[in-house]
Amino acid sequence: MEYRPLGRTDLRVSVICLGTMTYGEQNSEAEGHEQMDYALERGVNFFDTAEMYSVPPRAETYGRTEEVIGTWVKASGKRDKVILATKVVGPGERFAHVRDGNPKFNREHITAAVDASLKRLQTDYIDLYQLHWPERSTNTFGKLNYVHAEEQDWTPLEETFAVLADLIKEGKIRHVGLSNETPWGTMKCIALSDAMGLPRPVSVQNPYNLLNRSFEVGLAEVAIREDCGLLAYSPIAGGVLSGKYLDGAQPEGARMTLFPGNFSRYLKPNAEEATIAYAKLAKEYGFAPADLANTFVNTRQFTTSNIIGATTMKQLESNIDTAEMVLPEVLLEEIEKVNQLYSNPCP
């Protein structure tokens, strides 16, 4: 297993990060514990979660994933073996069940969120605390084009990062990260932190896969030059790049079979054509389609860690196996040809 620096911290995280959002929905507590045990045995020292999980988010399962991790932490006694990341919910119509129904990144809300996460996780500290998505309006979650909105009532970044600084002083969190953030937002937070002596973002957790390489347009340079690397989520585009949904297939128990409305951004025009092309390349060069997709993400210069997600142990094993894989240069050239034909069909 390869380990990479988490920003400018002294932490080194595995190139494979265990995503956990299925725990408490598609995976039981026992299955979640089995996954965490196995991942740790394979050298994965980085687990990622969020207060809003399980996914899809709903009041009945809010915080459930953190609770599953917490019971594992207590039972295993291995908290010190894991770099644990979680996130605070941003605003949105789907989160009327979170705090006062209008989540903000202000002192009251962040403090309450951290304390609740610590309790569910059964730990005294969180290694990486992330803002799950911007409080302001941006072009995230399936949007490429930015449409400006004159808002708006969003918490000044100075206040947000001052709160996070206090939480670091209190020992509740160690480092700060961004998620679903834009180039402007990432650079603004970094510049603000540097100028005011506030916590510097060490990572940005955004979608990145063969069907959505929008991170490369503006954020890749930021990630490399500012040591604020990508924590890539949806590396196989919600399972689409495995090829299992081709020709209208709806595999039993699969995410988009169970929750089609929650992952529609992966089923857009040109997505199937691109997936077929990548699957053909995978077969030609001796890779499983999902392995090709994960290995591509693992090996980008700006990637700090690839957040994989699995509902079965077989999926988990093959995902972790990709940490040892490389793609030949000729295959990378063929991937670029497909990307030119089908550029970012699933932003």
| DSSP notation for 45-92 | -EEE--TT-SSS--GGGTTHHHHHHHHHHHHH--GGG-EEEEEE----
Of 183, 164, 184, the closest CA to residue 175 belongs to 164
Contact between residue 79 and residue 59 where contact means Cβ atoms under 8 Å apart: no
Q: Please give the DSSP secondary-structure letter assigned to residue 226.
A: T
Q: Please give the DSSP secondary-structure letter assigned to residue 250.
A: -
Q: Is 56 exposed, middle or buried (0-12, 13-18, 19+ CB in 10 A)?
A: middle
Of 145, 227, 128, 232, the closest CA to residue 180 belongs to 232
Choose, from 23, 38, 53, 125, the residue flagged as catalytic.
Answer: 53
Q: In sequence order, which ranges of 77-144 are alpha helices (DSSP H)?
A: 107-121
**CB-based burial, 196-209: b 16+ in 10 Å, e otherwise:** eebbbbbbbbbbbb
Beta-bridge mates of residue 241: none
Contact between residue 159 and residue 111 where contact means Cβ atoms under 8 Å apart: no
Residue 162 has phi, psi (to 5 degrees) of -65, -40
Contact between residue 208 and residue 234 where contact means Cβ atoms under 8 Å apart: yes
71-77 contacts, C-beta under 8 A, 24 or more apart: 71/29, 71/33, 71/122, 72/32, 72/33, 72/36, 72/37, 73/121, 73/122, 73/123, 74/122, 75/33, 76/33, 76/36, 76/37
Is residue 53 annotated as part of the catalytic site, yes or no?
Answer: yes
* Cα–Cα distance for residue pair 335/299, rounded to 1 Å: 14
User: Of all helices (H) and strands (E), which one includes residue 100?
Assistant: none
Catalytic amino acids?
53
